[in-house]
């Protein structure tokens, strides 16, 4: 065994070997802090961002614990699944299974994936095979409990990953129900970007036992490897031109463009494919909640393999996306909360890589942008694209918060529609649609929007 920094941890030799195979040389800060405490058997409550290496921070001690029972002991006294990891989205679950398989590659440990959208019967067969570790989304897992198709009484380690997101999605009840079906006492790890969610206290009290609290980011720390910029914009057709110009002029390997609505994702993907040229070909794909699991998986693997270099996505679909080499994030629409913003830009700058995040901000995005700046305590760098400067220069009057003054609902709507008309006129009426998509169904549910407005800030409500 060569001297990797990981050898400082008392991890099973088969895990040390797998760590070397994966090529991790040095533990990330969250791994440095969480692994030794987890190895003592204590429960953990950790605030850590996606991209920080948090997955290995819980998988390594979890696997170490499972490996303490030898195959012979297991044969003599067989148990069913011994560890369960709950995550908010299917994509994240798939991602974690991959990570798990890598770290388990030198041992006998097996992983099962239980997510919505896959065959229920097939998943019942997975449970019958008793993989040591199950990675699941709470909704489908709760369904299996209702059908008595799984036995969680041998679960020694329960992990809640991206717990704040699970609470946002209204999954607290399912999570608590699943936890109540697991063995007691057991070891529980809760990982979350923020520890301030309103529903946290109840979940924490019901699931964790005297946890060690590790705060790596207080929920707002910014990744220094990600440069964050804002480009002012007019109506959508101006944003479209900015997007095309960025793809032409901004060097990048893989880009992820976020929109708030599926309809916008579809439109932009078509537009950029149409505008792709032989000199600068762009291979665009999309990712949103209307796509089947197979379609989404196919898109992600094409991005990973390089046959796609741009993905247009909504928040829900891109959650947990971990693809090496994403170096450009564009917020075509400003996200609705500081936490969503952090998650979006966290798709780049992963594991020490450099990344650039650019937000296109027009009159509708301004207040969200200033709320995000206040929430994250940062000022986003202003940038202009030569020849495509926006007529919109920001609100005429600003409140002390940085938001547009005169934000009473009625007044705001009036001035917003006025400036859209003006912007559309200025852009020669190329995009009469502007933001007429407003009435179309957003991918996020109203429950999401409600909970989002309760966390971080409530810019959307005030808009
Ligand atoms: P995560 O925050 O768990 O999603 O991890 C983000 C990325 O960092 C993943 O691609 C991991 O494979 C990678 N990673 C995790 N731990 C390390 C490490 N110690 N050294 C290098 N890369 C790592």
Q: Render each residue's pLDDT in the chain as its tens digit; 463 residues.
A: 445 678 889 999 999 999 999 999 888 889 999 999 999 999 999 988 777 899 999 999 999 999 998 878 877 777 789 999 999 999 899 999 999 999 999 999 999 999 998 999 999 999 999 999 999 999 999 999 999 999 999 999 999 999 988 998 889 999 999 999 999 999 999 999 877 777 788 888 899 999 999 988 644 556 678 899 999 999 999 999 999 999 999 999 999 999 999 999 999 999 999 998 888 889 999 999 888 888 988 999 999 999 999 999 998 766 778 888 999 999 999 998 887 888 899 888 876 678 999 999 999 999 999 988 887 878 899 999 999 999 999 887 777 666 777 655 444 444 444 444 444 344 333 333 333 333 233 333 333 333 333 333 333 333 2
Q: Verify that 27 and 130 share a domain, yes or no.
A: yes
Q: Verify that 31 and 170 share a domain, yes or no.
A: yes
Residue 383 lies in a domain: yes
Choose the residue to mutate in 11, 19, 55 for probing ligand 1, maximizing ligand atoms within 8 Å of C-beta. Answer: 55
Q: In what order do the strands lie in the sheet with 133-136?
A: 111-114, 133-136, 83-86, 157-160, 187-192, 44-47, 212-215
Ligand 1 atom 16, closest CA: 53
Cα of 329 from ligand 1 centre, angstroms: 19
Q: Verify that 348 and 242 share a domain, yes or no.
A: yes
In sequence order, the β-bridge partners of residue 310 are 255, 284
Q: Verify that 233 and 371 share a domain, yes or no.
A: yes
Cα of 324 from ligand 1 centre, angstroms: 10
Cα of 74 from ligand 1 centre, angstroms: 31
Cα of 191 from ligand 1 centre, angstroms: 15
Are 185 and 16 spatial neighbours (Cβ–Cβ below 8 Å)?
A: no
Number of folded domains in the chain?
A: 2
Backbone region of residue 410 per phi and psi (left: phi > 0; alpha: psi in -120 to 50; beta: other values): alpha
Q: Verify that 131 and 230 share a domain, yes or no.
A: no
Q: Verify that 257 and 391 share a domain, yes or no.
A: yes
Are 70 and 95 spatial neighbours (Cβ–Cβ below 8 Å)?
A: no
**Which one of 365, 397, 429 terminates a domain?**
397
Residue 142: helix, strand or coil by DSSP?
helix
- Residues touching ligand 1 (Cβ under 6 Å) are 24, 26-28, 31, 50-56, 322, 350-351
Axis-axis angle for helices 138-146, 120-128 (nearest 10): 80
Cα of 22 from ligand 1 centre, angstroms: 10
Which atom of ligand 1 is closest in space to residue 25's alpha carbon?
Answer: 20
Residue 35 lies in a domain: yes
**According to DSSP H, which parts of 233-377 are helical?**
236-249, 262-275, 293-305, 315-318, 338-345, 366-376
Which atom of ligand 1 is closest in space to residue 26's alpha carbon?
Answer: 19
Residue 66 lies in a domain: yes
Q: Verify that 236 and 146 share a domain, yes or no.
A: no
Q: What angle do CA 292, 294, 296 make, to 5 degrees?
A: 70
Which atom of ligand 1 is closest in space to residue 6's alpha carbon?
Answer: 19
Q: Verify that 207 and 312 share a domain, yes or no.
A: no
Residue 220 lies in a domain: no
Residue 57 lies in a domain: yes
Enclosing domain of residue 241: 226-397
Report the CATH number that the domain containing residue 234 is assigned in CATH. 3.40.50.300
Give the count of beta carbons closer than 10 Å to the beta carbon of residue 46. 27
Q: Verify that 75 and 208 share a domain, yes or no.
A: yes
Which atom of ligand 1 is closest in space to residue 55's alpha carbon?
Answer: 3
Residue 451 lies in a domain: no
Ligand 1 atom 5, closest CA: 53
Choose the residue to mutate in 6, 11, 28, 352 for probing ligand 1, maximizing ligand atoms within 8 Å of C-beta. Answer: 28
Q: Verify that 259 and 388 share a domain, yes or no.
A: yes
- pTM reported for the whole predicted model: 0.62
Cα of 169 from ligand 1 centre, angstroms: 25
């Amino acid at each position: 065994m060569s001297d990797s920094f990981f050898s400082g941890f008392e991890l099973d030799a088969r895990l040390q070997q797998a760590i070397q195979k994966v090529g991790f040389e040095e533990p990330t800060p969250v791994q440095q802090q969480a692994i030794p405490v987890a190895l003592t058997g204590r429960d953990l409550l950790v605030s850590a961002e996606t991209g920080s290496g948090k997955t290995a921070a819980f998988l390594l001690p979890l696997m170490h614990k499972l490996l303490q029972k030898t195959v012979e002991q297991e044969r003599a006294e067989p148990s069913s699944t011994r560890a369960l990891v709950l995550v908010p989205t299917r994509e994240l679950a798939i991602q974690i299974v991959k990570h798990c398989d890598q770290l388990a590659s030198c041992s006998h440990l097996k992983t099962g994936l239980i997510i919505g959208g896959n065959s229920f019967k097939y998943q019942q067969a997975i449970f019958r095979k008793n993989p040591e570790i199950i990675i699941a989304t709470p909704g489908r897992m709760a369904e299996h409990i209702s059908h008595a198709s799984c036995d969680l009484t041998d679960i020694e380690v329960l992990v809640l990953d991206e717990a704040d997101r699970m609470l946002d999605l209204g999954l607290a009840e399912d999570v608590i129900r699943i936890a109540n079906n697991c063995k007691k006492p057991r070891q529980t790890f809760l990982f979350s970007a923020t520890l301030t969610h309103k529903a946290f206290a109840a979940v924490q009290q019901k699931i964790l036992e005297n946890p060690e609290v590790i705060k790596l980011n207080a929920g707002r720390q910014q990744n220094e490897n990600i440069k964050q910029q804002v480009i002012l914009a007019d109506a959508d057709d101006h944003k479209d031109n900015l997007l095309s110009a960025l793809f032409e002029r901004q060097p990048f390997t893989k880009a992820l463009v976020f929109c708030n609505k599926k309809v916008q994702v579809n439109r932009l993907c078509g537009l950029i494919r149409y505008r792709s040229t032989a000199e600068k070909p762009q291979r665009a794909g999309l990712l949103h909640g209307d796509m089947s699991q197979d379609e989404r998986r196919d898109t992600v693997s094409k991005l990973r393999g390089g046959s796609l270099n741009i993905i247009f996505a909504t928040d829900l679909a891109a959650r947990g996306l971990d693809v090496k080499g994403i170096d450009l994030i564009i917020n075509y629409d400003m996200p609705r909360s500081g936490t969503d913003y952090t998650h979006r830009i966290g798709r780049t700058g992963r594991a020490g890589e450099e990344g650039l995040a650019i937000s296109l901000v027009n009159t509708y995005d301004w207040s969200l942008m200033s709320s995000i700046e206040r929430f994250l305590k940062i000022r986003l760098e202003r940038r202009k694209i030569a020849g495509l400067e926006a007529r919109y220069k920001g609100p005429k009057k600003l409140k002390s918060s940085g938001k547009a003054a005169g934000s009473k609902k009625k007044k705001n709507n009036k001035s917003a529609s006025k400036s859209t008309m003006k912007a559309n006129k200025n852009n020669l009426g190329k995009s009469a649609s502007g933001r007429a998509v407003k009435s179309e169904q957003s991918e996020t549910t109203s429950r999401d929007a409600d909970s989002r407005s309760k966390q971080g800030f409530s810019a959307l409500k005030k808009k």
